[in-house]
Structure 1
């Protein structure tokens, strides 16, 4: 077929013949949709692809009659999608002509070409189905992982001898799928040195995708505009940078620490649910803080396994967004509860009920994250999915990650202020501590609980800003994975009522005879500090 077209350069072929010739060439090459006998290698077949491109050029040229003054033709089959426009002397077409094929468009100035070709010019914009398997993305030499991100399309200028462009040609190319965060869209053209120079050489060296003379004029998540200073066969190739390999030690340390933290989260949740608490104590914020943090840690532990599954990754990213924001909102509520409790105690007030009412806690604890996630999903639903870190979370495109980072920073800042206000309210108590052995022991316990609350309230997340340093990376893993551990120690192990409850469980004693007399416990900034009976002002001062 190629030889016959070369020997009959002046022949004009009907569209049906051109269509059949395209179908036959793609079927024989093994790249067409109906080809069965031949399979193209995963590395492609650039030599066959270049031959078909040469045939395509001659077939399209045979569709244009030299006597035609102005014509527009279109061809759409399962093999080829082609749009052709020709102008002749005296044509008054617009300066820029738009041609399209399979949703891709090209804007070209035919008038400028016609000026250098006796007043006539023609351009064809064509896509052959299956060409991407012949002209594989592996012909693009780069250290990055590559992927074909569009159809392979060809621009043909039939019967034009002077093809020099006076201005770049723009192509609007639709992406085949969503662009990953670590991806770089590259405009490329097919370069065949053997055909251009008539020289023989190795296929890998002579045939390749090249970026010379083509550049990205605009790109977003849906399409890219390429500008090229010459015409040929073009495509979009995605270069995907491999994420930096995480150190095996850090990955192992993070996994082990999270598992330990989840164990203590589970113990704390069971304790809050099953223990017989004093009626004045409100553990709502602590319970739901444990639930939200444990679920978010668990999902983060497994989210990397769903990166390749787009729908599952999107759903997981949305759940993580909700749970992480809910965790920080419950941290804020716990900080407020703690501040209100300490403030009342410092004023020697009898506590009728600890902190805020449950309905208000539920409304804020889950209502705020629901509103934030709902608005985020409405504004940019495509922002949920795989990230360059290899987990399912929020994309950095359009700064969408601030839908999580923003609320977290606000809560951390507020917690810092509430924490400092709590310490300020405790100032008189800490200043009046006596220096005997008993009080010295109490002081150490108070200091420990203050530091523990610092972790529980999420203030250590500020360390994440310095994770580029190995020391801070390890410290961040240790501190933030053990929020469940500190919650269990402070609110369960160091609570006398809970310890007595544990003893009852361990000795399997049941009934009324197992009732425990609640003794005074050591008060601190993080203890419930609720007494089973009302105390006098002097007794409250003695406790402080």
Structure 2
């Protein structure tokens, strides 16, 4: 037995068919052209017929009850011995029966609403109904809405509204024009993503944390670019990681704060989604490169001399850091051109694994490398004499390793369960946004050479009368890895 919504849809579909059959009988053949209109409490009808001797030129326009239709009736007539008729029926109450509940939304979290009257367009007494060019249907909204809300041009098929062959060609707050390559019964539906109605507290917290992270990312980029570094130190991975994170977080923050304005321009929304896809993927690749370099440094801890280089050359890391992400984004866009540009100007559902797949793989590898690094360092410290210097060194090292865990992006794995728990959501938001803070703290602020350089700049600009320290030290940034492991306490002899 049909459910109530199904029965309503069946009744509505029956009304559509009977009305079209009845109105089609009013279209009479003619040698020139003729038009008729009929208005009742529930429908508005406009009929246009042309014959071989018509004086009409160009595209024909029919207007009735706040709906206008542009159709190439002359082109249709040329395929039908010079004669053709078109009927436009506007149903004033049918949108309450064939409502938006019959529309299959792409996003289950969105709310759909009917935004126009239901409009049927038919070609009675016409054998070849192929359209020479798409028709344009301009419909007035049932209520004025923001231009940023998502609209869908749909047509009725058996028991549901679908959008194949129809698209929005123009829109404003009061009207929308649909372009369709076939004739049927049409309507306009608006969807609003309920997920976009975010918690204002979380939104403010997100903005504050991201801005703090961006500040320290900017300071880190300036430091890596302007400071004179020990020749044994390679900051290529860290500098590129900071640049990618800085651009990605900045663009993401701007996109989400102006999402409704950006979403009104689908091309711009898709482009931004593609750029974000590339920047975040590149960031994770650079995190992986940083993890590999740290692993190589720690593995050779006991054998490598202080002057020996163990890092990867920039000619190798730069193509890997950006090429891997570029290939994935390019292939993804080629396989599914409509995969970029969801309601949130990100990846559409079912396409997110083009991002999550590589990211999960890189994060798992980083986590494994980090565990190996911890085991290697622990075994190394066993040979160090147990005294006050070892205890102090161990505490500093543990702190640096904890922060390094954040720099390598391992906490991003928390994002998998962030949607299920507010605590996890806040923790993930904090850790993911503060990678720049961690990089600046470990590789800049706790680096003796960098602090000395800061003091020189401070004095140069007249901000301090204190002279910089004479020694440069070897600080936390003098090793080839992210953590200085060359200044260990003396070993037992």
Bin for the TM-score computed over the shorter chain: 0.5 to 0.7
Q: Tell me, yes or no, if the aligned pair for 1:318 and 1:384 is still in contact at 8 Å.
A: yes
Residue by residue, what CA displacement relative to the aligned partner does 1:225-257 show, whole Å, maximum 9, x if unpaired? xxxxxxx97225435243232111100000000
1:309 equivalent to 2:265? Answer yes
Corresponding residue number in structure 2 for 1:395:
348
CA shift in 2, pair 1:309/1:433, >3 Å? farther
Contact kept, 8 Å, 2:150 with 2:264, in 1: the verdict is no
1:292 and 2:285 correspond: no
Tell me which residue corresponds to 1:78.
60
- Other structure's SS at 1:384 match: coil
Map 1:463-482 → 2, pairs under 5 A: 463-468=414-419, 469-482=421-434
Question: TM-score normalized by structure 2?
Answer: 0.68
Return the alpha-carbon distance in structure 1 between the equivalents of residues 282 and 26 of structure 2: 74
Hey, what does 2:159 align to over in structure 1? 214
Q: Which residue of 1 aligns with 2:176?
A: none
The CA deviation at 1:381 is: 2.3
Q: State the distance in 1 between where 2:371 and 2:165 align.
A: 44
Shift of the 290–137 alpha-carbon distance from structure 1 to 2, 3 Å rule, reads farther
Cα RMSD over matched residues? 4.3
| Counterpart in the other structure of 1:405 | 356
1:16 and 2:26 correspond: no
**Alignment match of 1:517 (pick from 465, 471, 479):** 471
Relative to structure 1, the CA distance from residue 487 to residue 378 in structure 2 (aligned partners, 3 Å threshold; closer, same or farther) is same
Larger radius of gyration: 1
Question: Alignment partner of 2:338: what SS?
Answer: helix
Alpha-carbon distance in 1 for matches of 2:136, 2:210 = 39
Is 1:493 the counterpart of 2:445? The answer is yes
Name which of 362, 372, 376 aligns with 2:332: 376
Q: Measure how far apart 1:420 and its partner are.
A: 1.6
CA distance in 2, matches of 1:422, 1:11: 83
TM normalised by structure 1 equals 0.62
2:113 pairs, out of 139, 146, 160, with 146
Name the CA shift for 1:440/1:327 in 2 (closer, same or farther; >3 Å).
same
Q: 1:354 to 1:235 in 2, by over 3 A?
A: same
Q: Deviations over 1:161-191 (max 9, x none)?
A: xxxxxxxxxxxx9999xxx9998987549xx
Distance change >3 Å, CA 157–CA 319, structure 1 → 2: closer
Deviations 1:128-169 (A, max 9, x none): 4xx6797896886558443669993345878xxxxxxxxxxx
Q: Deviations over 1:283-337 (max 9, x none)?
A: 0000000000111000000113222222222221121111111101100000001
Deviations 1:397-420 (A, max 9, x none): xx2222211111111111112112
Unaligned regions of 5+ residues in structure 2, if any? 1-21, 52-56, 64-70, 74-83, 102-110, 126-133, 138-147, 168-182
Please say if residues 285 and 321 of structure 2, whose CA atoms lie closer than 8 Å, have aligned partners that are also in contact.
yes
Say whether residues 1:50 and 2:43 are aligned partners: yes
CA contact (8 A) 1:262 1:484 kept: yes
Point out where structure 1 has 5 or more consecutive residues left out of the alignment.
1-5, 30-46, 64-74, 82-100, 104-123, 159-172, 190-212, 224-231, 532-538
Count residues in correspondence: 394
Is 1:259 the counterpart of 2:211? The answer is yes
Between the aligned partners of 1:10 and 1:260, the Cα distance in structure 2 is 70
The aligned residue for residue 189 of structure 2 is 238
CA distance in 1, matches of 2:403, 2:332: 33
Equivalence for 2:322: 366
C-alpha contact 2:60 2:72 (8 A) present in aligned 1: no
Equivalent position SS for 1:152 = strand
Equivalent residue number for residue 5 of structure 2: none
Tell me if structure 1 keeps the 8 A contact 2:91–2:119. no
Q: Is the 8 A contact 2:220 2:440 kept in 1?
A: yes
Offset of residue 355 of structure 1: 0.5
Question: Matches of 1:270 and 1:454 in 2, distance apart?
Answer: 23
